[in-house]
Structure 1
Amino acid sequence: MEKIALITDSTSDLPDNIVKKYNIKMLHYRIIYKNREFIDKIDITPEYVYNNLHREIPTSSIPSMDEMEKVFKELEEKGYTHAIAVTLSAGLTGIYNGIRVVSENHPEIKTYIFDSKSISMGEGVIIEECGKLIEKGASFSEIVDKIPDIRKRLNLFFVVDTLEYLKKGGRIGKVAGTIAELLNIKPIVSIDINDGKYYTYDKVRGRKKSLNKMIEIGENILKTKKCRLCVVHGCALEDSQKMFQELKKHPNIVSSVFGGALSPVSGVHSGPGLVGLILFEEE
């Protein structure tokens, strides 16, 4: 009899009720300041990160190998036979390889690691769908076969107030930087499904136009697809709520969740002003 565990990381921004419902094991990124190290979503808030960016821009690190090892040992002790891990895009971080190395030390658990090539609730919705499949009685192999198709139904876009923090954190990808900022051009950023790196999906001049363009992009998808909606933000509560309220009334939205603030570690790399839109296509 298969007993399947689900593993993801703190950047997935999953609500606590979903984590508990599907018993998802959470690995936590680390946020590193000169004089102190924090554990993402454990002993630091997004507000702390944003409020202190003028003093120091911290660095981040993947969850510790010790934490990963602890999770796998606990799974063994609890009789799990299989594990599915969904990670933050490997084009942005090394967590995929970290879990792979640790899982190889635990051959008793057959582990499948999926690179979400996404961030935040884009990553989170994939692991949530895996939880639903387990609940329906799907086997490990059936779920593994379905995950790539789940990823194809995911649409994620975001805009930031400044590209400064993406550049400093080395996460700029294929998004144009300095010249665009000088001209007040705001790129609508998405993630390349091939390499998992950021790229410019569209661009407009000015903050207000960029938010309106995001709504337009969402409405274009919703013309032909019924979707679940999620909006997240990084120190941009008012702008994100406006977008959420505008899109949730569309007749092709089947359910909507205001995801709220990004994980603190995501705030390190986005800086203040991020508004993120996730539309997940229903089958």
Structure 2
Amino acid sequence: MIKIVTDSTCDLTPESIEKYGIHVEPMLVEIDGVTYRDGIEMTRDKFFDGLPRFRDIPKTAACSPGSLLEAYRAAHRAGATGILSVHISARLSGVCAAANIAAEDARAEGIDVRVVDSMSLSMGLGYLLELAGEMREKGATLAEIGDALDAKRLEIRMYALIDTLTYLRKGGRVSNLSAFVGELLKIKPLVHVKDGLITTIDKARTRSQGIDRMFEDAVRFAAGRKVLSASIMHSTGPIERDLQDMASRIRTLWGIEPVAPRVVTPIIGTHTGPAGLGLVVILA
């Protein structure tokens, strides 16, 4: 049996994690001098409830090669014949680098490990994990699954609308001056993840304008292709109307039911802040 390993940026539901027997290695988040394991000591609800009151902007860290190696060893001891380790984009985090180091050590111990850079995160990564689980159940080999994920990751596009520049400024992602001007003008950056890298594609003055432009770009991405799946993510806040709007657009544009909205992990929420919106589009 092939064991699937990932990190806590995948934003899968507990039901999917249990269904496919996925091991989720927690990322780390430091809040006011205390380090927590994402999804264990620091849950989504606890994080977003406390975010306005944290003294300092949280800091995030990748899981270590040592912790991943222990996960590989445990899977091997439990009878896994191979391990598929799928992670957040290598251009966004050091997890893939840590996984490759751990995989090299594991192979020296006779453990077969395939590391896949999802070139995505959140439900983009989550979709690849579910695809891997389905392929495994149908008897695909480790190499076949890894190759399929390497191909499929190119057909995933993720978007995010950032409601406030405050957290990007505090995290050093934008300058104080840029953030001040942006907040003054009520600018909301629209970004996408392409080729594993986050790039700003537009700047909106209102949330509705940002959603319009998000879907305009998504339609261009999907032009001439069938959309297999579309997921909505968010970072809590007064956004119910936005979520309903996004779900309605998905049904109208592509004739599919959107994946139920997911609250993003604290690892992502640290950078977006509250009231962020996300969309993942996957082509058939």
- Separation in structure 2 between the aligned mates of residue 146 and residue 139 of structure 1, nearest angstrom: 11
Q: 1:206 to 1:241 in 2, by over 3 A?
A: closer
Q: 1:103 to 1:239 in 2, by over 3 A?
A: farther
- Separation in structure 2 between the aligned mates of residue 4 and residue 30 of structure 1, nearest angstrom: 26
Cα distance, 1:131 vs. partner?
A: 1.1
Q: 1:149 to 1:181 in 2, by over 3 A?
A: farther
- Separation in structure 2 between the aligned mates of residue 160 and residue 25 of structure 1, nearest angstrom: 30
Identical aligned residues as a percent: 28
Consecutive unaligned residues of structure 2, counting only runs of 5 or more, are: none
Q: Does the CA contact (< 8 Å) of 1:60 and 1:265 recur in 2?
A: yes
Match of 1:241 in 2: 243
Report whether the alignment pairs 1:91 with 2:91.
yes
Report whether the alignment pairs 1:192 with 2:194.
yes
Cα distance, 1:222 vs. partner?
A: 5.6
Q: Any idea what SS the aligned residue of 2:42 has? A: coil
Q: Letter of the aligned partner of 1:133 in structure 2? A: M
Q: 1:239 to 1:189 in 2, by over 3 A?
A: farther
Cα distance, 1:276 vs. partner?
A: 0.2
Q: 1:192 to 1:154 in 2, by over 3 A?
A: closer
Cα distance, 1:9 vs. partner?
A: 0.8
Deviation string 1:175-220 (CA, Å, 9 cap, x unpaired) is x866555433333201230xx2211123333222112222333455
TM-score by length of 1: 0.87
Q: Letter of the aligned partner of 2:204 in structure 1? A: V
Aligned length: 275
Q: Does the CA contact (< 8 Å) of 1:223 and 1:252 recur in 2?
A: no
Q: Any idea what SS the aligned residue of 2:269 has? A: helix
Cα distance, 1:82 vs. partner?
A: 1.5
Q: Letter of the aligned partner of 1:145 in structure 2? A: D
Q: Any idea what SS the aligned residue of 2:252 has? A: coil
Q: 1:47 to 1:250 in 2, by over 3 A?
A: same
Match of 2:228 in 1: 227
- Separation in structure 2 between the aligned mates of residue 12 and residue 205 of structure 1, nearest angstrom: 30
Match of 2:41 in 1: 43
Cα distance, 1:251 vs. partner?
A: 6.1
Question: Which ranges of 4 or more aligned residues in structure 1 deviate by more than 6 Å?
Answer: none
Deviation string 1:19-54 (CA, Å, 9 cap, x unpaired) is 111111111011112342221111223343333344
Q: 1:257 to 1:23 in 2, by over 3 A?
A: same
- Separation in structure 2 between the aligned mates of residue 130 and residue 227 of structure 1, nearest angstrom: 16
Match of 2:252 in 1: 250
Q: 1:54 to 1:208 in 2, by over 3 A?
A: farther
Task: Give the structure with the larger helix fraction.
Answer: 2
Match of 2:267 in 1: 265
Consecutive unaligned residues of structure 1, counting only runs of 5 or more, are: none
Cα distance, 1:71 vs. partner?
A: 0.9
Q: Letter of the aligned partner of 2:102 in structure 1? A: V
Decide which moves more: 180-189 or 264-273. Answer: 180-189
Q: Any idea what SS the aligned residue of 1:254 has? A: coil
- Separation in structure 1 between the aligned mates of residue 34 and residue 241 of structure 2, nearest angstrom: 32
Report whether the alignment pairs 1:52 with 2:51.
yes
Match of 1:150 in 2: 152
Q: Does the CA contact (< 8 Å) of 1:227 and 1:253 recur in 2?
A: no
- RMSD between aligned residues: 2.3
- Separation in structure 1 between the aligned mates of residue 270 and residue 13 of structure 2, nearest angstrom: 20
Q: Does the CA contact (< 8 Å) of 2:86 and 2:117 recur in 1?
A: yes
Q: Does the CA contact (< 8 Å) of 1:155 and 1:280 recur in 2?
A: yes
Q: 1:182 to 1:114 in 2, by over 3 A?
A: farther
Q: 1:177 to 1:147 in 2, by over 3 A?
A: farther
Cα distance, 1:116 vs. partner?
A: 1.4
TM-score by length of 2: 0.87
Cα distance, 1:134 vs. partner?
A: 0.9
